[in-house]
Amino acid sequence: MQRPVNQTLRTISKCRQGHGIPQYIIENGLRKVKPYFFQHQVHAKERWLKRTLLDVFATEFQFRDKMYYHNAIQCGHITVNGSQVEPTYVVQHNDLIIHHIHRHEPAVTAKPIEIIDQQDDFVVIDKPGGIPAHPGGRYRYNSVTQLLQRQLNVSRLFPANRLDLPTSGLMFIGLNVDGARRLWADTVEGRVQKEYLCRVVGKFPDRVVCTAPIKRISFRLSLHYVQDDGKPSETEFERISYDGTTSLVRCRPVTGRTHQIRVHLRYLGYPIANDPLYGLDKPWSHLLQEGQPLDEEYAANVVQTIAAHSHYPDFDPSHINACRDCGLVMTSDPPPNLLSIWLHAWRYASKDQSWAYETPNIPTWAYH
């Protein structure tokens, strides 16, 4: 039988001191972290200002339900500037918000992180799809940088480029700040040519250059799309092969916007075949029209539709499959193959031809 919420929160209060070394479990092709107690600290973000504390948590962090956050605030497990407040507290500029939580990280792929090269101040890796590049959101120990820190026995790493969670391929990670800054500067200043491989729906044209501007539509949903007032974006595409249903495409992003390749492909009408956000088989797919930028009103409708189909289980005190320490309803682990998409960062090279890296292996989906 599940504990009542208040009893659960009292349990958490006894464990605020920390959680020690993470315990990993490898099972059914997935890497899991044993749940642990964690103190999450964050300064108020601009989009949170003038909203109630309860509204911020209930809308920004939907992996817990509203009742949980209401009780957590009232019991002092969510505090502001070191003080207990009411759920109706209005968030102010520079507020320090602390949440003492029993953390359940989502499972990630158990595929190994292959080190391609290691220099004095950086390493080059082949990141598997299905794991985040760095801690963020619900992920901390189940991330590339945290796993590599243990593998390399270093206290900190500095990603110089970042791949989306479902994307595989080349990542450059600094062993110190200077190494990361140099690599990052080369990338953002256009001194590096990047090549990706992807598999898309339909017969892609021989060659396309897409320059549609991209704008973030929703931070919480990590949704980006083409809008007229978006940031300048450019991607070069070239079809490599067509199998009668899907095309293998080479992508060369000239700019580096979030989700740029995925968004441009969707905008062109050839989304990555297994993309869970921009694909053609979603309840919101009809709202993302080929060649049509979103205006603000239409973008809001897209966000509402996606949010309505995002599943976060509500708290149920009678639910037998729930965490005994915090009341979180446990959900089934995803199949490992659903954690990644058919997008792979294959080759990075300096434009002055002083260096080049390729992943030693190409994903199996690129051979079919």
| DSSP letter string, 98-165 | EEEEEE-PPPEE----EEEEE-SSEEEEEEPSSS-SS-BTTBSSSSHHHHHHHHHT-S--EESS---T
Local confidence band at 317 (pLDDT 50, 70, 90 cut-offs):
very low
Q: Are β-strands 78-80 and 24-27 bridged in parallel, bridged antiparallel, or unpaired?
A: unpaired
Query: Considering 55, 95, 121, 164, which one is annotated as catalytic?
Result: 164
Domain ranges of the chain: 193-310
Q: Which CATH class is domain 193-310?
A: alpha beta
Q: What is the mean pLDDT of residues 136-146?
A: 92
- pLDDT tens track for 75-113: 999 999 999 999 999 999 999 999 998 889 999 999 999
Averaged pLDDT of the chain: 88
* Residue 95 falls in the annotated catalytic set: no
In order of 43, 134, 321, the CA distances from 238 in angstroms are: 44, 30, 48
- pLDDT tens track for 349-361: 999 889 999 999 9
Q: Is 273:200 a contact under the CB 8 Å cutoff?
A: yes
Max avg pLDDT among 13-17, 214-218, 246-250, 288-292: 246-250
Q: Pick the range with the lowest mean pLDDT from 8-22, 280-294, 296-310.
A: 8-22
Please tell me the predicted confidence (pLDDT) of residue 310: 66
